Structure 1
């Protein structure tokens, strides 16, 4: 009998998620947030979906819209808290322009999203198109993707109050690539790189084309420590922050990378 009651409660909750909400205004104590991140053209990138909730949550639904020529949704992964709670119902529908998502926990049991902040409930996996222009590609939480579209709501545990949360949109910043440690931007990491950096730092040598790539130890500054890190990588098999592969630059970081270092 308990399982039947739980099932009925879950179905009622699912119905409330799919019906339009008439709540007025967004609740500042309940937040859905997409975390902005950077990526290279052609790269696969994960965008976390975070929740703040001042009440225990028994279910939620939302849609996320992206620019279909820039980003392709591959899948929606569960966050650590979602794996731990193991919801009884998860619906994910993927479209060229985004996705719709609905989640229900057992309302009659102990399963619910507890009060908390910055819960990583899901990670949206995108494939960045190889022709996507540089700059931010917006991803927005909305209620107009899907057939029928899902209302963007949270539903409280046991009481079933429907909450319209505050929405924080994000973006995938399409950036140039750089090979950390490739100080002279010739596409490889070799002895020429610490020599090039030493000459620039102490002898007024040629300007480093990509400052972030010269930050070999990834401490957000360029100094003698980066020369040492490069030498350790080359001759002592001590990679430190050097991976030897192309990585995304940091568009809002303290270091600049005017010239792309790799594709």
Structure 2
């Protein structure tokens, strides 16, 4: 007993004399999350804040109730630690309950691991076998004989500081989908309040493959309901599938619409949504609801599980089961657009169509004359352009019995699709 105490004292004295302290060397297993019934990697890192290391050995143990170690490979440090190559001795062994590693960098002392942090020693692969929290810890019990957890400095074995890694074995989520209503805008004339536009409806699956879930998944159908605020009403709900579904039913209500789709009653057709895919295009109109409103409005499009009787749920069918979809609402920006009345052929905006307009048109077209403040009025022949045909049309009408210009003529008016830029001012606007 006395001999043992003396030996221990001398060893401590030697280590103190050479400046070797256990706290200068730290082994750490990384933390991580691994999907249940899936696999994942953890790394073992070394911080060397002491002397030059000649080698090391360790065991890393796991609880087989949660984890099974299936493999271990060299980390980036070990791959090059011996003057750019692997160590002279590099032994790894894998067990269900963990793994061991032993390294001698160079048998003749030609290379060492100098001071530094974050040295990557090994990368181990684990399978999760049950959901829950567990850890991977350094141990001295694996192998036969058991491998000790030590680092070697100047031929002496030092037990380093050891940090376990926390591991979360997480359950694999069910497929997840998102219904998204697009955003759109439409202009209206406050005089009548009419506007129309269309909105695309998409489905997208969330990529959970990193959690061990299959991706993408085949769907067999879906149902959905989207409400709208009072500024707009749906006028048509159009399926945009790449095939004709065996069942595709849509219903429109003042407050929204619903759709139910089964691709194939016999299972012969499926759809996957690895990215946002348009499945429905919906036409909306204001129906004059914005008449007199010169401020504009935002019509909301909100997913609703209460539309229809019985109510239609927002679900996707996968493997015969219904999965509730996440939802992203949309909107329609309704913008007032004031357009001016005008008279066809009245290029000079004097309220009459005569030889003066012919001269104005020719001057504007060929001699650099002033441009009309209402360019659309110069389209006397209603062919969608302004050219020599327009003054010729007016001459024929006024002097040789040609046809009368089409509306708006002879009084003031507008045409469908007119924009504010078509007529910035005319005699009709005072």
**Which TM-score band (shorter chain)?**
0.5 to 0.7
Q: Does 1:41 align with 2:36?
A: yes
Residue 150 (structure 1) shift: 1.2
Q: How does 1:47-62 map to 2 (within 5 A)?
A: 47-53=42-48, 54-62=50-58
Q: Does 1:68 align with 2:64?
A: yes
Give the secondary structure class of the aligned counterpart of 2:175: coil
1:11-57 per-position Cα deviation (integer Å, ceiling 9, x unaligned): xxxxxxxxxxx879x81110010011001111111111010112211
Q: How far, CA to CA, are the matches of 2:181 and 2:138 in structure 1? A: 49
Q: Does the aligned pair in 2 maintain the 1:58–1:106 contact within 8 Å?
A: yes
1:118-171 per-position Cα deviation (integer Å, ceiling 9, x unaligned): 111111111222xx032x122110111221111110002xx2122110000112
Give the secondary structure class of the aligned counterpart of 1:247: helix
Q: 2:91 maps to what in 1? A: 91
The alignment yields a C-alpha RMSD, in angstroms, of 3.1
Going from structure 1 to structure 2, the CA distance change for 1:188 and 1:248 (only over 3 Å counts) comes to: closer
Residue 111 (structure 1) shift: 2.5
Give the secondary structure class of the aligned counterpart of 1:28: helix
Unaligned runs of 5+ residues in structure 2 are 1-10, 16-20, 184-201, 213-323, 325-430
Q: Does 1:133 align with 2:131?
A: yes
Give the secondary structure class of the aligned counterpart of 1:69: coil
1:89-137 per-position Cα deviation (integer Å, ceiling 9, x unaligned): 11122222222221111142432222111111111111222xx032x12
Structure 1 length normalisation: TM-score? 0.58
Q: Does the aligned pair in 1 maintain the 2:70–2:95 contact within 8 Å?
A: no
Q: 1:217 maps to what in 2? A: none
Task: Please tell me whether Structure 1 or Structure 2 has the larger radius of gyration of its CA atoms.
Answer: 2
Aligned residues: 174
Q: Does 1:187 align with 2:175?
A: yes
Q: More relative contact order in 1 or in 2 (CA 8 Å, sep 6+)?
A: 1
Richer in strand (by share):
2
1:158-189 per-position Cα deviation (integer Å, ceiling 9, x unaligned): x21221100001122112345xxxxxxx7254
Q: How does 1:94-105 map to 2 (within 5 A)?
A: 94-105=94-105
Q: How far, CA to CA, are the matches of 2:136 and 2:113 in structure 1? A: 24
Q: Does the aligned pair in 1 maintain the 2:138–2:164 contact within 8 Å?
A: yes
Richer in helix (by share):
1
Unaligned runs of 5+ residues in structure 1 are 1-21, 179-185, 199-230, 235-241, 250-260
Q: How far, CA to CA, are the matches of 2:131 and 2:208 in structure 1? A: 22
Q: 1:246 maps to what in 2? A: 209
Residue 195 (structure 1) shift: 4.3
Residue 78 (structure 1) shift: 0.8
Q: How far, CA to CA, are the matches of 1:42 and 1:32 in structure 2? A: 28
Give the secondary structure class of the aligned counterpart of 1:82: coil
